[in-house]
Chain A
Amino acid sequence: MKIDFLYFEDCPSHDQALARLRQVMAEEGVEAAIAIHKMETETQVQAWNFVGSPTILIDGEDIDPPPPGTPAALACRVYRWEDGRISPLPSPEMIRRALRSRLHREEGDS
């Protein structure tokens, strides 16, 4: 499993998001390495189609796919949690669901 963590320094809670990702991975028994990418330039933003910080990709798929047409930008990202709350960070359940979905697909492939 390939996990990419993309962040923009101006958004202050990326450390918290990374810690949350590591915590949920540990809880789910996922031992994959996390590739951390600091977004600094417009070139990077476009290359990654970065829609905001933090963004977590599992095998290239966003754990919370943004609506089509969401512009790529050096910005902080809005996550809407399962209970309707707005947060700058993905919820643990959001991360967990994405990891489990990928694990199930891997099981189906093998």
Chain B
Amino acid sequence: MTLRIGEQAIDFTLPCTDGHMHSLSDWNDRPVLVIIFSCNHCPYAQAWEDRIIDLQAQFKPQGVKFAVINANDPVKYPADSFEEMKKRAKAKGYNFPYLWDEPQEVARAYGATRTPEVFVFDQERVLRYHGAVDDNFEDSDGVQHHYLRDAIAALLAGEEPPVTETPPVGCTIKWK
């Protein structure tokens, strides 16, 4: 069962490519928290990756925090191992923590199924948007609906996100 709009974020503590452990509560002071389930190998994740980095940079001054979680089975998909995550985070200059959900418990608790799959929480950590980053994985210039960007902007303005749910588009999470 996927976390539903209006439900509370579920706490976690996960290892990060930065060498530390991070928990949901680390970011209690942030007005908006964006959790994205993603990975290294998936072309959809790669196609949206730069846009995710740009959005984190765009909203950093307002205190918005992104955290990206990889839950894929690295035995089946070695490109998604923790070591490879560290390499990708460094190579791409990730401006957010890249967390490893090796037991896949966080992904299951959130009900994530795809990479990338976005969950946006407000200050009280209530889920306010769930789904895709935007409506065009191929062409950032051709995007008609900036779901993630608009949801964050709306929450910062104290408003309802214009769209609260879209189908996540991407590779399936690779379960053990």
Contacts and interface: CB of A to CB of B under 8 A. Distances in A.
A78 B77 contact: no
A71 to B, nearest CB: 9
A75 B46 contact: no
B44 interface: yes
A104 interface: no
Contacts, number: 38
Contact of A10 (B43, B137, B171): B171
Interface stretch (A33-41, A58-66, A81-89): A81-89
B148 to A, nearest CB: 18
Contact of A78 (B46, B138, B172): B46
B58 to A, nearest CB: 20
Contacts of B77: 73, 75
Contacts of B46: 78, 86
Nearest to B138: A87
B47 interface: yes
Contacts of B47: 85-88
A83 B19 CA distance: 35
Contacts of B43: 76-79, 86-88
Contacts of A86: 43, 46-47, 49
A12 B170 contact: yes
Chain A contact-residue range equals: 10 to 19
Q: For B43, B138, B171, which residue has the most chain A Cβ atoms within 10 angstroms?
A: B43
A92 B170 CA distance: 20
Q: How large is the interface on B (under 10, 10 to 19, 20 to 34, 35 or more residues)?
A: 10 to 19
Interface in B121-146: 137-139
Contacts of A79: 43
Interface in B38-81: 41-44, 46-47, 49, 77
Contacts of A73: 77
B137 A75 contact: no
B172 A10 contact: yes
A76 B169 contact: no
B70 to A, nearest CB: 15
A73 B171 CA distance: 13
Interface in B9-41: 41
Interface string B150-176: 000000000000000000011110000
Top 3 closest pairs, chain A to chain B, by CB:
A88-B43, A78-B43, A10-B172
12 contacts: A13-B169, A73-B77, A75-B77, A76-B41, A76-B43, A76-B171, A78-B46, A85-B138, A86-B46, A87-B47, A88-B42, A88-B47
